[in-house]
Amino acid sequence: MLSRHVKLLNGEMVVLRPLRPEDAALYPDFLAKVTSFDLRLRFFSAIREVSPEMIDKLVHYDPNKAMAFVALDADGRLLGVVRLHDDDKHETGEFAILLRSHLKGRGLGWLMMKHMIAYAKEHGLKAVRGQVLAENTTMLQMCGELGFHLRNDPDEPGTYHVELPLAEVPAEAVA
């Protein structure tokens, strides 16, 4: 289940597989195709440039505490990344996702989220959660459709906490 081929809404086939350290070489081209607005939605702050050091941190992670999946097209170009970081008790995981901006609406984010949820369920997590800016209406809608509970945080105006109890997710929903 770690790697698989999936079809986007436009019929394009992509590969979902675990992120590898050598994928760092794919990041500059990938990030060049992500708008500054989408980077802000992902990192919650304005980012002008992602440094090589930051890319290095993104591609090197402890597999006992985290997992990241990439989507690659037939030419090996990086199209998107979804990450999941477990808490210390290995009960919940916090996700983050980023796609090339022009690929929104093709089903890639949906497929990557389902892949990550299936991984979390398979590895015994009880819930998946994340933080989403209120202006990221597409992400909030997708989370709602995937069954996440959405809660506006009064301590962090403009931010929603989203959580998906994995016991509520039937296996066929993420297959």
Band (pLDDT 50/70/90 cuts) for residue 58 is confident
Nearest to 9 by CA among 103, 95, 99: 103
Band (pLDDT 50/70/90 cuts) for residue 168 is confident
The CA distance from 45 to 151, in Å, is 21
The CA distance from 2 to 173, in Å, is 17
Band (pLDDT 50/70/90 cuts) for residue 156 is confident
pLDDT value of residue 35 = 77
Round to the nearest angstrom and report the end-to-end CA distance of the chain. Answer: 10
Look up the CATH architecture of domain 4-173: 3-Layer(aba) Sandwich (3.40)
Per-residue pLDDT tens digits for 28-57: 998 888 877 677 666 555 566 777 887 888
Instruction: Please state, for a pLDDT cut of 90, what percent of the chain lies above it.
Output: 51
What is the average pLDDT score of the chain?
Answer: 87
Strands 92-99 and 4-7: unpaired
Ranges 78-82, 97-101, 137-141, most confident: 78-82
Contact indicator for 111, 8 with CB cutoff of 8 Å: yes
